[in-house]
């Protein structure tokens, strides 16, 4: 669990005829201690969220419902992950440019992060991000 690479994490699935259950807990599935949870919902068609990087913050993004794409950029190349199952999470380390787009109707994006909200964590200028990556 020490890798700082962008990657998909598969959560446990407890299959049940009454309905399935998945979970994550510190620090078995999530490679950090969770300080904050937020969610993005009611996204109008064609809208995009994010489009920034974090200086030190790490996060895991889950499509709890519906689907959306997470587009990541490491300063060199772009990687796109389509999230559409609630038992997969995408781990995004710090210093990765990331945006969420292509939200389906009624999609619900859950994000857990290792830090509380702090505007100072954000890099909102892509050129500044690329310069810092070098």
Q: Which residues are annotated as catalytic? A: 52
Q: Does 36 bind ligand TYD (CB under 6 A)?
A: yes
Binding-site size, ligand TYD (CB under 6 A): 6
Interface region with ligand TYD, contact rule CB under 6 A, candidates 17-25, 48-56, 73-81, 126-134: 48-56
Angle at 53 between CA 39 and CA 37, to 5 degrees: 25
| Near ligand TYD by CB under 6 A: residue from 8, 25, 117, 118 | 117
Q: Does 55 bind ligand TYD (CB under 6 A)?
A: no
Nearest partner of 107 among 70, 52, 78, 54, judged by Cα:
70
DSSP for 39-55, please give it: EE--PPTT--EEEEEES
> Which residues, in sequence order, are CB contacts of 96 under 8 Å at separation 6+?
6, 53, 72, 73, 74
Nearest distance in Å: CB 38, ligand TYD: 4
How many CA atoms lie less than 13 Å away from 7 in the CB half-sphere?
Answer: 11
Q: Does 50 bind ligand TYD (CB under 6 A)?
A: yes
Interface region with ligand TYD, contact rule CB under 6 A, candidates 45-53, 70-78, 89-97, 125-133: 45-53
């Amino acid at each position: 669990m020490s890798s700082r690479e962008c990657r998909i994490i598969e959560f446990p699935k407890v299959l049940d005829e009454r309905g399935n259950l998945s979970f994550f807990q510190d620090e078995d599935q999530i490679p950090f201690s969770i300080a904050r949870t937020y969610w993005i919902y009611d996204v109008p068609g064609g809208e995009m969220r994010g489009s920034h990087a974090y200086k030190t913050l790490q996060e895991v993004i889950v499509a709890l419902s519906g689907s959306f794409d997470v587009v990541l950029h490491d300063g060199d190349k772009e990687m796109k992950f389509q999230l559409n199952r609630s038992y997969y999470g995408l781990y995004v380390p710090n210093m990765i440019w990331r945006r969420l787009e292509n939200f389906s109707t009624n999609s619900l994006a859950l994000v857990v992060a290792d830090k509380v909200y702090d505007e100072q964590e954000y890099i909102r200028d892509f050129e500044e991000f690329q310069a810092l990556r070098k």
